[in-house]
Structure 1
Amino acid sequence: MSFYPVHKLAKLAGISVRTLHHYDRLGLLKPAVRTESRYRLYGDQELLLLQQILFYKELDFSLEEILQMVKDPNFDQLQALQNHRHAIETRRNRLTRLLETIDKTVSKLQGENAMLIDEELYAGFPKDKAEAYRNEAVEKYGSQVIEESEIKLRQLGKTNFDQLKAEQEEIAQTLAAMANQDPASVNVQEQVARHYANILAFWGKSVGGGNPLEAYKGLAQLYVDNLRFTSRNGQENPEFAAFLSKAMTYFVDARLNGKKSRNRDIK
């Protein structure tokens, strides 16, 4: 049989030597042996009993209650361990549910109320590129339009903003897969309509002096003039840029012509 001096048992159990001395005074955990020099030595049975004591303490039993239980002549260590397991599983499940509730509440609060900071608006871009993109947008559309757009995006909250970015990526992938189709085809134009709505959600309706269709047509030209705006994974693709620009231009012209036709009908 192995014996542990008090300091070694304390270290093994993660408690203090003073705690073990206290348990000894209470009669809760007596050492198996006391040497002639009055040193306490604990054996295997004491280790098991200490485990039981610590389990009960974890379940918020008082030392007096624990003493009554472990000194009961009918105390069954195996049954006690099984009871401990069941109690800990129950507590774990309850704590898991509480953590899930907290996570949902935090997500809700962040998604609905927490405004994004500037760094989150341009997350994913190297800092110098993010600044360059913003400066170009300011030069093209004006600082007031860009600032209004950024305020609107901040108010979306992280959850909605992330959803908007995810939708943008999904649309881009879909259009990239259609690059060999006719830009004016129904399928392509359906995706361009989604692209326009997504872009408008980022810009806000004040872009282009309140004429977002013209601003969108300007973006179509920008895609051809500056290939980095349609690059994927750092790779520029002139063919895709040309396809997307044509599809966007067709979309705008069809909308504008439709408006003109409706205006003539009204007159």
Structure 2
Amino acid sequence: MKMTVKEVATLTGISVRTLHYYHREGILIPSEISENKYRYYNEENLKLLHTILFLRELDFSIQEIKRILADPNYDEINSFKKQRHLLMLKRSRLDKLIALLENKIQGEMTMNFKPFDMKEIEENKMKYKSEVSERWGNSDAYHQSEQKTNHYSPEVWEAIHNEAEAIYAGFVNNMNKNAADLTVQDLVAQWQGHITKYYYECTKEILAGLGLMYSCDERFKTNIDEHAPGLAQFMSDAIAIYTSK
């Protein structure tokens, strides 16, 4: 599937101007840019646009979305679950407002202000944002990542994505080997270097922690295994060997 920016705008209801803005900010890079500068989007771009719009619904800024999506361990499924919960709260509030209007239409004049209360929705928004801040905000890794990523151009973000996908593909292509194999261990070194180069200094201690999360945290495991079933455990095993040296 290949769609022009106008076709994506028509399909999604997002303006062409907004799509161009997301491209300039490096959060939605077209899968292809022709010689005459036409932008083309594929299915992966549309999936990413879904994620961006969900995060915008939670009032995350563009800079915050950049950092979230740049996190190698970003958990899309968990993010969607939180978004679903928030939308259910909004639906409940709308149902109460509709019921209140129905009562008024029927002539009932009870002064009920509870349906206008946004407290629960706002608390859940802040809770989600706080979880992200707690995970990143007070860490050296967060500050390093913020300093590095704030000025990345769309071209740099595209290069980062392509490099990460190439490393994942390398792991997938070598899953038939032992995790201690030199080729696999070299891929771990590449992954560590990738994180250090583009985000923050990925020490062996930090890398070891990431490796444990890849296999023990179901959210991360699900994301990584989208590349190939069992990849998360394979990477975790390889990282454990690499960091024990």
* TM-score, scaled relative to structure 1: 0.42
Structure whose residues are more often helix by fraction:
1
- Which protein has greater RCO, CA pairs closer than 8 Å, 6+ apart? 2
Which is greater in Rg? 1
